[in-house]
Amino acid sequence: MHQLDATDIQLLKLLQENSNVTTKELAKRVNLSPTPVFERIKKLENEGYIKKYVAVLDADKLNKSLIAFCSIRLKQHTNIIGNKFVHDIKSLKEVTECYNTSGDFDFLLKVIVEDMKHYQDFVLNSLGAIKNIGSAHTTFVMGEIKHSYDIPID
In angstroms, the Cα distances linking 16 to 49, 53, 148 are 11, 9, 10
pLDDT tens figures, 52-107: 999 999 999 999 999 999 999 999 999 999 999 999 999 999 999 999 999 999 99
pTM of the model: 0.89
- Domains in the chain: ranges and CATH: 6-46 (1.10.10.10), 66-140 (3.30.70.920)
Burial of 64 (0-12, 13-18, 19+ CB in 10 A): middle
Over the stretch 93-124, which tens digit does the pLDDT of each residue have? 999 999 999 999 999 999 999 999 999 999 99
Residue 1 has pLDDT above 90, yes or no: no
**DSSP secondary structure letter of residue 126:** I
Helices (H), the chain: 6-17, 23-30, 34-46, 79-90, 116-121
* Cross-strand bridge partners of residue 138: 70
Strand partners, 105: none
